[in-house]
Structure 1
Amino acid sequence: MMSQEERHMMIIYDDPSDQRSLSMDDTSSADDSPNESRLSLEQTNDLVPYIGQRFPTHDAAYEFYSGFAKRCGFSIRRHRTEGKDGVGKGLTRRYFVCHRAGNTPVKVANENKPQRNRKSSRCGCQAYMRISKTTELGLSEWRVTGFVKHHNHELLEPNQVRFLPAYRTISDRDKTRIFMYAKTGISVQQMMRLLELEKCVEPGYLPFTEKDVRNLIQSFRKVDPEEDSKDLLRMCRSIKEKDHNFRFEYTLDSNNKLENIAWSYASSVQAYEVFGDAVIFDTTHRLTAFDMPVGIWVGINNYGMPCFFGCVLLQEENLRSFSWAVKAFLRFMNGRAPQTILTDQNMCLKEAVTMEMPTTKHALCMWLIVAKFPSWFNAVLGERYNEWKAEFYRLYNMESINEFELGWRDMVNSFGLHNNRHIGNLFALRSLWALPYLRSHFLASLTTTGQSKSINAFIQRFLSAQTRLAQFIEQAAVAVDFKDQAGEQQTMQQNLQNICLKTGAPMETHAASVLTPFAFSKLQEQLVFAAHYASFQMEDGFLIRHHTKLDSGRKVYWNSQQGIISCSCHQFEFSGILCRHALRVLSAGNCFQIPERYLPLRWRRVSSSATKLQSNPDHHAEKIQQFQSLVSILVTEATKSKECLDLATEQVSLLLSRMREQTIASLQVRDVGMPRNLS
């Protein structure tokens, strides 16, 4: 009788569909006699299988035939195995066939199971090699007892055969490298290019494809979701033990499984103290590997670079989850809400912000809306899409609400968009995204195209990570740390640049010594434009009008005694940078320095996280001015020689480290690592 092991192997390699198309019994091959085998050996090349060829194991025979197949342009697979009933000698015969042998078996349709409908390459090819087991003098070996080399299909060229699945293999060393690359968040295309460079092979000539790498990463992710959640919490607790200022909160569902989790780093809390006046809460991304919505809190620092404030993973995008996320963020930031928050067009999120941040101005992030325009309007407008988009941006940047609404009606009529639901929704929400409605609220330049690209690139850095959920927090920390280091380098480069003064006005010189190059460039632009405007004193202020215009203009109020100036364009309220109209009035009033209150701390060269944005700048005006002078002198002296620059960099780095340690030590450490139930 056949042993249980033999029956098991027969089941593994026996393919009924192949048996119908192949006839591989003993009579179909050459005779098994040793004499004829030796004759065949003398007449056959060693690289081609021949009758009587010997192998120590069936695996060795498989490897030999596989190598032959690769050189010829096809691949092989194991087919049938046979044993002798009643003898108990195990497997005695084995078949290796062309990968296109047999016919595709007919699948029974199952309504409850989705069908993959994959195309098959099988075409009933008869090429095969059969080996049989023999024993002589107590030694076992395998001999070739059947070989057919003719195929009923074309063989592949050498540059094509490598794409067959049988020859696409990833070594253990390459797997290790791929998993390491996945943790860094780089794309699969970048992984492939790095491996090509490491192995010194031409692009596209690795022994595996992008699809193989994606499948490998996907198999790495296939873990028990519950265990993955536990690993995630263990990771958070581990980070908390190393850094007591790391903050995280989470909720559990009714089955005691992880539902939502939010976290923030010590450096993020510190940055929020100064730059948390305007924040973007981007919830448009998902972790593809886990199909989870992810929300990212991000802002902009005084050098115009993105700064990370926090992150949240949610199971559901509903009011309850968003409300918890907003409350968790406020707890991380010691209860301080931003002045302005920008989000996507999510009505649940809008309601959550209104409930949990009643004093915060909520606006819609324009570049998150614009990203949807191609899918909304491309097919509708066709060739006129770009024309419509240009008109939309013109309306978006208008200053007058009345002009915006009149222009919107004209745009709808011109492009025939009366019944378009997206146009209707945009107009209904116009007060949340159109600049004419938002100019009196501080947005810190977050609406500009340059900032949107910079922030989006920063977010994509760790969202592209191809790894498990438990390591996502660690990867986000790496991305934030990388951004901090890059930011410090860019900050140094900006500070070392020689500032070019364009007007020669004392106000320009003063602003250049106080503001960061990023903020100063914006103020300098307004100073240059100010020279093109005429100033007319009125009973209740000044009328500022461009020299080419005879009507309209901006109304500016200026109280020289109190040092208060305001303009009807609301440029300062919107960006924290004085407008050309106000600067024109200051210049006409013989003001040689910009009042301290109009040089916000968040745009200055030196900002301390211990200084609140709401504090009165005049309280520290004298010390700040003195310190700014010292910094200016330091930069001037440091750039005189390489030795001076190295010395200054070293000493300032030590000073910054001491200041940061002192700041972190003074922060209140709150235990936010305990689960909080949703109310």
Structure 2
Amino acid sequence: MRFDTLQIAKDHYNNYALRMGFSVKMNTSRRTGNVLVKQQFCCNKYKKPKADDGGAEAPPILDPIPDPRPVDTDEEMEDEPPIFAEEEAGASKKKKKRKRETIKQTQCKAKMLVKLMDGRWEVTYFVRDHNHPLVNRPSLSKYLRSHQGISPDEKEFLRILYNCNLTTGYTKTDPDFFYKVKYDEEDRVVNIFWVDGLARKAYAEAYHDCISFDTTYMTNMYNMPFAPFIGINRHGQSFMLGCAFVRQELASSFDWVFGAFLEAMDGKPPNNFITDQDGAMRQSIQSIFPTTVHRCCRWHIMKKA
């Protein structure tokens, strides 16, 4: 395989590690002058086990309660961060206790070596097999060190929300989070669409028969209509299947939003689509969802009547 940049090669191997259930570290590298020409990525259990324990899993260690005197006893952990931490604070708020688990090193040989050749990074050596059990549950493998944190794209999305005075609370539940942003010629945000992985899965498996879309919700500061995609589950409860902000309620804006929704849902259009009687929406639905039955919302009809 060949990659345009070293970062893309690293991301590819790390995504592979997430699916397989291990964590990745950058190991040895080689430079020619100031130019990096070789880089090795390896399993984070690549080190030799300690000679005194034969590689046995180290038990959790309780840090001693700090002395009242100002003595710095913190040590930097090179490998995985603490799995859990506890703090005990008395009246003086001086007592602190942390429980740590250290990672078991097995001298694992799994690795991927890439070399810079003709301006691209080519995989020249690859070892697939590990000498230790892998994490076989995706709900746990995401907590390994190389899979923690927020991707650059998601950081940019949170920055956009923050600049628009929107809440940026973030919890990454799975790797299928989807979002898309449209800018105008002055690099200002025009439209935003996003949907989480659970909603995408629910839509694909069962809940694509009838979707409601409404733009009557407004934000305070920028007057951008908030447009949620709402579905109904088997219990008659409504739930979110995507959200959008649109600068202007034009056919071109709805074309973009509906196109983003279709892209997020792997090209599967809803069977029925309920909206108000907006002409721009009707035009976009006919263009983007030609096989979908467009229905008008009874609440809007009765309100106008």
Larger relative CO (CA 8 A, sep 6+): 1 or 2? Answer: 2
Q: TM-score normalised to the size of structure 1?
A: 0.20
Higher Rg of the two aligned structures = 1
Normalized per residue, the structure richer in strand is 2
